[in-house]
Amino acid sequence: MSGPVIEFSGAVKRYGEKKIGPIQFSVGKGEIFGFLGPNGSGKTTCIRMLLGLARPSMGSVRLRGENPVARHVQALTGVGYSPELPNIQTFLTPRQVLALAAAEAGLNGAKSEADRVLEEVGIIEYGDKKVSKLSKGMVQRLSVAQAMLGQPDVMILDEPMIGLDPAGTAHLREVFRNYAREGGTILMSSHMMSEVEDICSRIGLIHNGKLIFEGTAKEMIRRMLGATEVRVEAKNLAADAIEAVRRIKGVVGVTAIPEGLDVKVDRGYEIRPAIARAVVGSGAELLKLGEGERMLEKAYVVALRGGGDKSD
């Protein structure tokens, strides 16, 4: 289809005196959109409107170009959904759960389709264990597998990484990246800022029912913090190397840490090549040069407090 895959156009939902919206953003084909916000901010209401489970009081919502309330079946054909708290029959096995869901959806080869998605999310070896015997992380992967049945065009994932161990998180991260590379679209609600920053092409932040930011993670960091950070990991850093880094145009602060340096950089400057030259030129051994840690999390906290530099 041409145009946005997901589109909120001034969508408002009223619950008595409480109002969510107006919400305005769109998600295109091949994007992973991170939908952020604290509990009670309105994320679930927006997802319900997108799935056609709640009708907007004003404005409109479109999924795959269709009105998900008026044309529910057409809008949700080719859409997979994984809820935050999946309610899966615990007396069945993952293979049975998925085969039943595939058959209910009218998919050909329900058993082979169940095995395909079990393999995709990395739990095929647990396919014949009762769901009641699985860990919370395994159940979460099973919920994602169910969303992937039938190779949907769109996946709507509510906290898909919750309860996963590092190996499971890394596995799903690659699954989602590959899905997007092949043209799939993901709207992902999450509280895990590191994962959002790592895999989402854009993010939206909702707070008290209002969308207070929409753009890339880097744009949010720059807007809310006024600067970014570069983490320098190096051995044998001498005082002259630190001073050389401090003099680089765009550097607004340097902090020594056990691993090396944290360098605060003014917006609009790309100074990593200059830092590398300064460190290596001093005779130190450069081990790693990358973004500072937990920057999106810091920006998120500032945004919720109503702070940050709102100008570009």
Q: Which of 219, 254, 274 is the last residue of a domain?
A: 219
Domain identity same for 159 and 19: yes
Mean pLDDT of 37-61: 93
Specify the amino acid at residue 10: G
Q: Over 60: is that where the pLDDT of 310 sits?
A: no
- How far lies 167's CA from each of 23, 80, 127, 174, 186, in Å? 35, 23, 18, 11, 21
pLDDT at 25 over 60: yes
Kindly state whether residue 296 falls inside one of the protein's structural domains.
Answer: yes
Q: Is residue 269 part of a domain?
A: yes
Domain count, the chain: 2
Residues 69 and 164 in one domain: yes
Section 236-245 average pLDDT:
86
User: Are 210 and 120 within one domain?
Assistant: yes
Q: Are residues 161 and 268 in the same domain?
A: no
pLDDT(299) > 90: no
Which stretches within 211-294 are classed as H helix?
Answer: 217-225, 239-246, 272-281
Q: Is 90 helix (H, G, I), strand (E, B) or coil?
A: coil
Between CA 204 and CA 214 the distance in angstroms is: 4
State whether residue 149 is helix, strand or coil. Answer: coil
Same domain for 141 and 252: no
- What count of other Cβ atoms lies within 10 Å of the Cβ of residue 176? 22
Residues 259 and 153 in one domain: no
- The DSSP secondary-structure symbol of 119 reads H
In a domain, 122, yes or no: yes
Q: In terms of domains, do 89 and 12 share one?
A: yes
Q: Residue 311 pLDDT more than 70?
A: no
Please give the average per-residue pLDDT across 23-39, as a whole number. 94
Q: Which of 24, 49, 58 is nearest to 214 (CA)?
A: 24
For the segment 279-293, the average pLDDT, to the nearest whole number, is: 82
Task: Please report the pLDDT score of residue 309 as a whole number.
Answer: 59
Q: Do 36 and 132 fall within a single domain?
A: yes
User: Which tokens in the block code for residue 259?
Assistant: 């691993």
- We report the CATH number of the domain holding residue 75 as 3.40.50.300
Q: Are the beta carbons of 47 and 156 closer than 8 angstroms?
A: yes
- Residue 80, SS3 per DSSP: strand
- Per-residue pLDDT, 145: 95
Q: Is 265 part of a structural domain of the chain?
A: yes
Q: For residue 119, is it within any domain? A: yes
Q: How far apart are CA 12 and CA 100, in angstroms?
A: 36
Give the pair of three-digit tokens for residue 247: 């003099």
Percent of the chain with pLDDT over 90: 54
Report pLDDT digits (tens) over 199-211: 999 999 999 999 9
Which residues are 23's β-sheet partners?
Answer: 11
The yes-or-no verdict on residue 191 having pLDDT over 60 is yes
Tokens of 50: 């997108």
On the question of pLDDT at 182 being above 70, the answer is yes
DSSP-derived pairing of the beta strands 202-207 and 32-36: parallel
Could you tell me if residue 276 is inside a domain? yes
- Degrees to nearest 5, angle at CA 162 with 189 and 83: 55
- Residue at 312 is within a domain: no
- In this structure, are 76 and 136 located in the same domain? yes
The mean of the pLDDT values for the chain is 89
Residue 145 CB burial class (10 angstroms; 0-12, 13-18, ≥19): buried
Among 145-149, 248-252, 267-271, name the most confident range.
145-149
Residues 13, 126, single domain; the answer is yes
Enclosing domain of residue 109:
6-219
Q: What is the pLDDT of residue 214?
A: 93
At 115-128, the pLDDT tens digits run 999 999 999 999 99
CATH number of the structural domain spanning residue 273? 3.30.70.100
SS3 content of the chain, % helix, strand, coil (to 5): 35, 30, 35
Q: What is the per-residue pLDDT for 130?
A: 95
Q: What is the mean pLDDT of residues 233-259?
A: 87
The residue assigned the tokens 């919750």 is 162
Final residue belonging to a domain, choices 219, 245, 269: 219
Residue 309 domain-assigned (yes or no)? no
Positive/negative CA dihedral, 199, 81, 112, 73: negative
pTM of the predicted protein model: 0.82
Determine the pLDDT at residue 186: 97
Q: How confident is residue 312, by pLDDT bands cut at 50, 70 and 90?
A: very low
> Whole-angstrom Cα distance, residue 188 to residue 79?
13
Q: Are residues 238 and 213 in the same domain?
A: no
- Verify that 157 and 253 share a domain, yes or no: no
Provide the pLDDT confidence category of residue 285 given band limits of 50, 70 and 90. Answer: confident
Average pLDDT over residues 64-73: 94
pLDDT at 65 over 50: yes
What's the confidence (pLDDT) of residue 2? Answer: 65
For residue 26, the model assigns a pLDDT of 95
Of 152, 187, 219, which marks where a domain is finished? 219
What pLDDT does residue 1 have?
Answer: 59
